[in-house]
Every structure is written in structure tokens, then in C-alpha cells.
Chain A
Amino acid sequence: EAQVTQNPRYLITVTGKKLTVTCSQNMNHEYMSWYRQDPGLGLRQIYYSMNVEVTDKGDVPEGYKVSRKEKRNFPLILESPSPNQTSLYFCASSPRVRETQYFGPGTRLLVL
């Protein structure tokens, strides 16, 4: 089944404890992206990747890192999480940059 998977789906952590949210797609898509969704603010793009080893900042990149070493994986790294990073995170992919995006199920993160 063609899909975007994210792990974990739910995560509670404490301030400053490094964490990684994984994202994987099995559709051979070139473009991948991370978003966060917050009440009243909607979906905002964190980082995106046009292809392997090519990444760029979205609108809210502060406090996040990404890497794209393989085409199928695009992990989101929070090196020192803070409470303002409590949010619902979505990974998405598309065949190429301007085509229909397919979203993962989301990761709900709570930073205490």
C-alpha cells in the first residue's frame, strides 16, 4: 500500500531531551516536507527536501533539523525540545515539488 508513515504517533518528553520523529514513504517520491499544526495558526511548513541531500527551510525552521540521506526517509530532529514545540506534526511527500502532496497520519508531541 502506498503510504507515508510516521513514528512515533504520540510522544511525551521533557525540555531539552533530544528526539527524532521518523518519516518514510514507499512511493519513490522526490519531494518531502514537514509541517506543524497548531490551533489558531493552521499548518506551517518547517523544512522541505527537493531530493536526496537537498533540504531547505520552510516558514518556521527554528529549533528543528532535518536530513535526507535516502530518498524514502526524512527524519525531523529536535535537538533541545522546548514547550513551544508542543504540536501536531505532519510529514508529506509528492512525486515532484509542485504535485499533489500525500500526508502521513501525524505525530502528536507534548514537551513538558
Chain B
Amino acid sequence: KQEVTQIPAALSVPEGENLVLNCSFTDSAIYNLQWFRQDPGKGLTSLLLIQSSQREQTSGRLNASLDKSSGRSTLYIAASQPGDSATYLCAVRPGGSEKLVFGKGTKLTVNP
């Protein structure tokens, strides 16, 4: 059974710092991996989707990488801002499955 782990559960950084959020999964047979952002009291917003054949995806200050063989993905946030404060969730779609399996998230606080 696929399991997704995100460490740390919470992270606090000063504004302007570059940071990395980690996601690991137990079964490397995935179709794709998606990073989401969740703001308090709100739904999830998709940030980046990486297909299993890809190594990374970029959107603005965000860069997500995927190492399928080692079961790891990272979300790199450059020059963090207070507006980046949110919970970041990683989700994988196992190969041959129509489901998404989520990690429990990393709560990020960027201090001014």
C-alpha cells in the first residue's frame, strides 16, 4: 500500500530565505506526483504536477523535483515571502490507480 510522508510537519523561516520541503513515498510505481497549497479554512490549490517520466517542474519561484527510484520529491521555494505561509501537501497517484494518496503536509510559516 502506497504511503506518503512529509517531513518536517512544521517549518518556520525568516522572509527571503530559500527553502526545501520534502516528500517521500514507499512505492516507486507512480503515475504522477502533485504539490498543493492549503490556506487556513480554504481548499487546496494545485501548485505543480510532475509526471513520472519528468525530473522537475517549475512555476515562478517554485521548483519541484522527482526522483522516482528513491521515492522522493522536493519542493523548492526561492526567496520566501510571508504570503507563502500555508500548509503544503504532496500527493502521489499510484500506477494503475485512479486515486490520489496524500501526505499529511508541512505547515510553513514565513516571518517578516
Q: Determine if A103 and B100 form an interchain contact, defined as CB atoms under 8 angstroms apart.
A: no
Contact-residue bracket for chain A: 20 to 34
Contact A59 B46 (CB under 8 A): no
Interface members, chain A 27-76 (any B CB < 8 Å): 31, 33, 35, 40-45, 48, 50, 56, 58-59
Given contacts A42-B104, A42-B105, A98-B32, contact A103 B99 (CB under 8 A): no
Q: How many A-B residue pairs have CB under 8 A?
A: 51
Q: How far is the CA of A67 from the CA of B55 in the complex (A)?
A: 38
Distance, CA A90 to CA B91, complexed state (A): 15
- CA separation between A41 and B4, bound complex, in Å? 12
Closest A residue, CB atoms, query B4: A42
Q: How large is the interface on B (under 10, 10 to 19, 20 to 34, 35 or more residues)?
A: 20 to 34
A8 to B19 alpha-carbon distance, docked (Å) = 37
User: Secondary structure at chain A's binding surface: helix, strand, loop or mixed?
Assistant: strand
CA distance A90 to B100 in the complex (A): 13
Those of B21-56 within 8 Å (CB) of chain A: 31-32, 34, 36, 41-46, 49
Among A35, A48, A102, point to the contact of B98 (Cβ < 8 A).
A48
